[in-house]
A and B are shown apart, each in its own frame.
Chain A
Amino acid sequence: MTVGTRLPLAGGVAVLLASIALEPVFVNLRWFGPVVLVLSVVVAISVLARRFSATAPWAPLLELAGALLALTALYVPGNALLGVLPTPASLGEMRTLLEAAGYAVRTQVSPAQSLDELIFLAAIGVAVVAVTVDILAVSMRRPAVAGLALLVLYSIPTAALVQGIPWWPFVGGTAGFLLLLFVDSREHLLRWGRRPDDEDQAPTFGLVAAQRIGLLAVVCGIALPLLVPALPPGLIRPAGGGAGAGPGTSLSPLAQLVGELRLPESLDLLRVQTNVDDPYYLRVTSLEVYTDQGWALASLDDTFDAGAGDLPGAPGSSRTRTVDAQIEVLDHDDRFLPTYYATRQVDGGGDWRFDEISGTVWSEDDRTGGRTYRVLADEPVPTVGGLRAADDLDSEDQVQRRFTALPLVVRPEVSQLVTSLTEGADGPYERTRAIMDFFTDPENGFFYSLSTEPGTSGDELVDFLVSRRGYCEQYAAAMAVMLRFADVPSRVALGYTPGQQNAGEWTVTTDDAHAWVEAYFEGIGWVPFDPTPLGGGRGVQRDYAPRLDAANPTATASRSGPSASNTAAAPTAQLEEDLLGTPGDPTGGDSAGLLDPVTLLLSVGVVLVVVALLSPATLRMAARRRRVRAARGGRREGALAAWDELLATAADFRSTAKQADTPRVTARRLAREHGFEPDTRESIRLLAVAEERARYAPAEQAEVEGDLAGSLRTVSRALRAQATPRARVLAVLFPASTMVDLRAALQGVRTRARGRWLSMRRPAPVS
């Protein structure tokens, strides 16, 4: 038998349409090209293979090899032979890419940046799905089962997007699946003609079956996105975290920052016009929870509407200046609104909330994309004198307790360092300066690098303090911890440096993503400190926090700058991961990474469990157990169940009972087709007689004679013995009877809907 080229093509188109589901996962369409290329290679090989050989059991292997070549040519041509053939070196490079992708999956927020490693991962995924669909739909001729493989693609946005999935990827996938079914039905029809029991259906070239399955697919397609994404927020959001619910999504601003910094090409995010010449950093939010997993966001208060007039003022009462900024959003799209510290007013539409403690303007539903908004802020202008005069807060003070909390034991290296640095320092400001100077003193040899070196100490903070290379995240995190250890209330602020000034406008790009430290002083409030040695004049210096390296900026600029190096060396992953991870602390507010391993594993696990539960094999097993139990019970139900099970087993071995056959006709036909031994014939006769008695005899004559379960076992064994090993495996993994049951169920629904007496099947007039 020839399979033709339509089916492999249809499979490819179905995978392509289903891969639309990846669109919401990425910020742009860069992933599409590589995915299409790899998919085309797989489909082309499948088509060619079926040209050469009808069954082509080796085709999937060739397809996998083709996908490997295509991926090699796309991503690691340097180490490959002729740019295409994989070598050990190129394979090693692929491994590195995969590891980087694993890291990116853990750290990226969705929609994720179009990083090469993520696209690489997506292309591999689509290639595997395409080969699976090919095996199922073309080699095994089970296109309906191939739908499960297509469903895998949907599990990606389902797991990654917590804010819900748009409807249109499902339309694409459903259309692809329908196409696959349609083409398969059509091929079937062209080769074998219509099944005799299908004669009541108008000649629609298999559309009817496609309609039925398609209907189910659409129903599932609508139901799944409604059900699945509804789970994670409720399940994963920690219970603690102060007043009000936390954000419905556990966005990780820190991961967002890393993603932006690592972007291969920088994107313009914001255009800012301000009334001041030296605006300080644009602030997104601040992280106040420190655990052994790193810094994380606390729960955000959603009760305060940021659009409703003046916001509560920042704590403290130092002198302020008014910053008035008009911000136009370019490529920025986030649920945190970049503002200036001590925001008084936000004006720009949308449902924005204000979290007073962290000073964050955020939204559960709205995003910044495409907006233009105005921010009015009362930026504190602390003086050195004022800061010096500030006393330590009372140890029972709310702020003091909350923002000096260090739930873990600080390593002796760190504690010794802090103690020695702050020795003799008087008051919190002096201590803060001492720690800041430690980072900015050129003597100490800190320099900026997007790639960090792995340490051997086992503690990331210690590693950083030893290697002294890192970027804003490490600097800010380390300084904030050290401040806390020195009893200065502190937190990590996230946002953007002011960017490039051009004709009165500031342009903020992804390279400006930044993290710094805020320290709290009594009577003054939160004061920003930036320990990171930023090059290129990006950083802003304030009088109260002079940089010791400021006199010699070239020393750091020469080997720094956010664009210095963006090769994500695998070893850095550990440190970053630990800095970025989720707080395990129950009091610690919301989790950080949206795609953090727990969420991801949980979501994928839920999807896998659902798929496994719905899988034909499981359904079949459950049905069998139910029926055999009923058969053991004997009586009328037992007879019916035994017969059902017999029919199902026969259907699994491709002898579907015709609807127009009576029990004894079916029994006779099965016995003939499978060449049963006399005792098997006797068993099947017993089952058939029991069935017709149960169905047609009056209740008082419906008693069952003989051992139903035993006979069932005999017949099932005989059926299995007749089958080829391949058929036996198929009968277990993809039992055809589940499709028959599905069909019957659908028919039952239809029949009931039409009313009992009107439901008589009538042959459609052949015109």
Chain B
Amino acid sequence: MLPGSAMDDLDNDPRHGGDRRADDLDSDAEPLGLDRVREAMGRIAANIERVIEGKPEVVRLAIVVLLAEGHLLIEDVPGVGKTKLAKALARSIDSSVRRIQFTPDLLPSDVTGVSVYNQEAHDFEFKPGAVFANLVVGDEINRASPKTQSALLECMEEQQVTVDGTTYQLESPFMVLATQNPIEMEGTYPLPEAQRDRFTARVSMGYPDVYAELAMLNGHSGVDPLEGLAPVSSAREVRALIRAVRQVHVSEPVQKYLVDFANATRRSPELRLGASPRASLQLLRAARAQAALAGRGYVLPDDIQALVGSCLPHRVILTPEAQIARRDAEQIIAELVRTVPVPRGTVETGVR
């Protein structure tokens, strides 16, 4: 239970009700307790793991990103279950799900929606596009043209769509799960940095281990396991979870550590482009969700250390020298984890 700032929400919302937040189903309820958050997240994770075997850390990361109000980029070779992960997450939560198969001829309006002329009403009428859902699965996002990709930009960052000068609010929770295939790059449009930066985390599925693959062969050969996957949570619950995660305490030394770390990436001689301030922000949100997932009411530097490997490498750009030296971003970030000092903060003035 986190009184403090949580009480603010309680006090504020009913009094100034009527705005968008009034729509939040649980806004006048108490934020969920940490144990409930933990339980709910564990429930969702267990559900997904029925389909994605042997990858608990990837599943957990996906949930962390969901509760951090972020977006997930799943990047791996074909056939390791990228799409399945996205769909499993979508199905586990009883909410609206849309799937976009990105192709070179996909148009921005297919993503955002379009205004059509309604003859009866003699007026233009907005037909919402694929992003008007709680969970949007964007398959093979690098196959669409940059134009279409950038249509996602506004949606992802601002949770809104603007068509013909009118802005439409997207639903909450809103999460984009995009998959991307790093090989077979002919005829594809790799995501530009600006767009990659909008994804909170990038995960690689990796090949399953022998036992997981055997189990998969046994299980998947008969029926599609996704078919049997029932929702274990709702959009309403997820909203409550998100609110609870927002209350997780972040102490000053942890903030300092995060900033130190972002700075370290900017100063690293091997990186041409370091982490953006947006990266710090998203990292902090993810760290809160990570702490909540562990049932902890406060963020530890350990949470940040656990997340930087997923949240930063896709945002940074290596220098040509580092590339020639066959270094990769994951390596460099992992080395920074070992070198950036963990501050003790102001409490240091205690007994020494």
Contact = CB atoms under 8 A, between A and B. Distances in A.
Interface majority SS (helix, strand, loop, mixed), chain A: helix
Contact of B337 (A626, A637, A660): A660
Contacts of A637: 350-351
Identify the interface centre among B3, B298, B305: most chain A CB within 10 Å of its CB: B298
Nearest to B341: A659
A665 B268 contact: no
A696 B351 contact: no
A552 interface: no
Given A627-B351, A660-B341, A662-B342, A696 B269 contact: no
Given A694-B347, A696-B253, A741 B352 contact: yes
Interface in B252-301: 253-254, 256, 259-260, 263-264, 267-269, 297-301
Contacts of A760: 256, 259-260, 263
A765 interface: yes
A638 to B, nearest CB: 8
Contact of B251 (A626, A630, A698): A698
A397 interface: no
A763 B350 contact: no
Interface string B28-69: 000000000000000000000000000000000000000000
A659 B301 CA distance: 12
B246 interface: no
A623 B249 contact: no
Interface residues of B, number: 34
B339 A660 contact: yes
B350 A636 contact: yes
Interface stretch (A196-204, A217-225, A423-431, A445-453): A196-204
A290 to B, nearest CB: 58
Contact of A626 (B249, B264, B351): B351
A724 interface: no
Contacts, number: 94
Interface residues of A, number: 37
B314 to A, nearest CB: 22
A761 interface: yes
Interface string A744-767: 000010000000000011110110
A95 interface: no
A701 B347 CA distance: 15
Given A644-B352, A664-B302, A762-B264, A695 B339 contact: no
A438 B70 CA distance: 115
B297 A701 contact: yes
A641 B4 CA distance: 28
Contacts of A394: none
Contacts of B4: 698, 700
Given A761-B260, A762-B267, A662 B301 contact: yes
A658 B338 contact: yes
B284 to A, nearest CB: 13
A347 interface: no
A627 B352 CA distance: 7
A692 interface: yes
A658 B305 CA distance: 15
A697 interface: yes
Given A644-B352, A694-B347, A697-B249, A199 B339 contact: yes
A696 B254 contact: yes
B127 interface: no
Nearest to B257: A662
A42 B31 CA distance: 76
A641 B349 CA distance: 11
A661 B342 contact: yes
A641 B351 contact: yes
A761 B341 contact: yes
A698 B350 contact: no
Interface of B: 3-4, 249, 251, 253-254, 256, 259-260, 263-264, 267-269, 297-302, 305, 337-342, 344-345, 347-348, 350-352
Interface of A: 196-197, 199-200, 623, 626-627, 630, 636-637, 640-641, 644, 658-662, 664-665, 692-698, 700-701, 741, 748, 760-763, 765-766
Given A630-B351, A700-B4, 14 more contacts: A196-B339, A640-B350, A660-B339, A664-B300, A695-B347, A696-B249, A696-B251, A696-B253, A696-B254, A698-B4, A701-B297, A761-B340, A763-B264, A763-B269
9 contacts: A623-B352, A640-B347, A660-B340, A662-B305, A696-B251, A696-B254, A698-B251, A698-B297, A741-B352
